[in-house]
Structure formats: C-alpha cells, structure tokens
Amino acid sequence: MERMFEIEEALYPFESHFFEYKPYGYIHYLDEGPKDAPAIVLFHGNPSYSLLYSEIIQLLRGKFRCIAPDYLGFGFSSKPDYHEYGYTPQEHSDAMIAFLETLDLSEFSVFVQDWGGPIGLNAACEFAEKIKCLFIGNTWAWPFRHNTKMGEASRGFSHKMGGYPMKEKIMEKNTFLTISIPLLIRGMRKRNPDLVPALKQAYLAPFEKPEHRIPTWVFPREITHSYPFLFFLEQKLEVLLEKPTILFWGEQDKVFPTIVREEWEKKLKAYRRVDLPKASHFFQSEEPDLIAEEITKELRG
C-alpha cells in the first residue's frame, strides 16, 4: 500500500507498514530497528499519530525495535465510515490487541501518552506476561471521579468539545486540530523553525476532508461516555503496576496537571519519575533527547 499523503522525509524518514484489520481497512505502523532487539510499542493520542514519536524513534532505532501504529482514522491508517467503526477507545484498543497478536513479540515495552494511555495499557493488560517496562506520561487509565477538581474539569471539557454543537464546528473548521497545532509544533519551533510549516501540514493532512475529522471529536466525548471502559481498565491495570516504569511528566500541560501524575504515583509500585518542567502536553516532541536517553538507561540497565 501507499501513503495517502506526502510528508517531508526530514520529518518522517521511515518505511511504512500496513496491517489489515478486517473489515475496517488497514492500520499503518512504523517498525524501525533490528527485529531481534528489545521492542517498544509507542501509542499516540488525539489528534496526533506516529509522527509524534519520529525524533525519539530516530534516536532509538539503532539499538531498539521501535513500533508505532496509527489508529484507524489517524495518520496513514484507513478511515472507515463512522457508522461502521465508532472510533471509541474500546474499538481502538481492540484493534491494537489484534495488531499486537499479529506481531507475536516475545517481550516488549510500551510508551503511552494522552489517549494512548487507556488504549495502549488496556491492550498491554492482555499481554501482561510479555511486558518488560512501561513508559507513561501525561495520560490516565481510570475514570475521573465526580466531585473532584479533575472530574469537574474533564466533564466540562468533554461536554464542550465532545457535544453535538462542537461536532459541526470540528467537521467544518477542523477545530480540535486547530487548537492542538501550537502544542504539536512547539518543540520543533524551538529546535528547527525551518521545518515548522512542513510539520504543521503533516498534522493537518490526515484530516483534510470534513468527514475525516470525526475521530478528533469522538475522543473528547469519550472522556465521559467511556466511563465503563475506563472503570474496568482501572481494575485490570493491577497486572501491570509492578512492572518497571518511567513516569514522564510535561509540567506545562494544562490538560493533565500534576494531580494526575500524583494519582499514578499512588498506583505504580516500581517507578521512577522524570520531570519535564519546560514541556507541555506533547512532551515527546519537546524533549526527545532526554526521553531517548532515559529509555536507553532503563532497557539496558
């Protein structure tokens, strides 16, 4: 298969791979590095895709196998009709479980951020005996409780951005991506400003058509609508909580403030914390060198 849009090679110097996920189409993924090296599967959130991990993968692929899928509706993956595939976290996670089964890895680590947390960790629970390490950052894996500060904030965000009036705005004006672009390009703006226009276009390209923007609306809606999925995930998560973990945290993130990090610290049994005081929500693109260094220390230590 071919990619559905062009991307600057300097941003994305990789070969594409595709996994057929019947009956919905093809899941695009990157598979970089030696096949016999320790494997890391990297899960993205909304509205990003494997591009978010590009610099980290380039730094790690000489010594690790880096696998980064794009969920259906994101990046270079197929875009099934909304009436056939609902783009919910449960559906994305089921697709990732099927994808991981096909890879048949003997052992692997996972990196999760944003919606990659619920999606990737739910999938990882199905392969708990194969999980070596967890790399967790600016994400969650439980329902936000009512009558808490985070619960009230997340519910307000969900109702505003995931409500039906916003659906029309997102389809017409690509609203969710528009408000996310400044955060997605924040790291590149500091390191290589010349690549910023190409990076911006690479994030806009998957959502060029109005009907392709629905997945970016579904995710905010699901903060509240996926309460059962998140509730059962929190129970299942016990099988992973003793795994060696690095807890990365972009401290400038207004989406996931430090109270969410503190909740992780109550749950995790064998973690070390790496604070990223200058990084925001998409911290992977802001601190790739430090992240790659910490991953290398963890997996080689």
Model pLDDT for residues 21-60, shown as the tens digit of each residue: 999 999 999 999 999 999 999 999 999 999 999 999 999 9
Place domain 17-300 in its CATH homologous superfamily. Answer: Alpha/Beta hydrolase fold, catalytic domain (3.40.50.1820)
Residue 259 CB contacts under 8 Å (≥ 6 apart), including other chains:
149, 150
- 264's enclosing H/E stretch is helix 258-267
Residue 253 annotated in active site:
yes
Mean pLDDT of the region 260-269: 98
Q: How confident is the model at residue 73 (pLDDT cuts 50, 70, 90)?
A: very high
pLDDT at residue 243 tops 90: yes
What does the pLDDT read at residue 97? 99
Mean pLDDT of the region 81-99: 98
Per-residue CA distances from 108 to 65, 176, 212, 259 (Å): 9, 32, 32, 29
Lowest mean pLDDT among 55-59, 160-164, 285-289: 160-164
Q: How confident is the model at residue 301 (pLDDT cuts 50, 70, 90)?
A: confident
- 101's enclosing H/E stretch is helix 89-103
* Catalytic residue of the set 28, 92, 212, 281: 281
d(CA 256, CA 149): 12
Residue showing tokens 């064998």 = 270
Tokens of 279: 């990084």
**Does pTM surpass 0.75?**
yes
Residue 281 annotated in active site:
yes
* Catalytic residue of the set 28, 31, 44, 253: 253
* Catalytic residue of the set 114, 146, 194, 225: 114
Residue 192 CB contacts under 8 Å (≥ 6 apart), including other chains:
none
Buried b (16+ CB within 10 A) or exposed e, 27-56: bbbbbbbeeeebbbbbbbbbbbbbbbbbbb
Residue 83 annotated in active site:
no
Q: How confident is the model at residue 148 (pLDDT cuts 50, 70, 90)?
A: confident
Per-residue CA distances from 279 to 63, 98, 190 (Å): 26, 33, 12
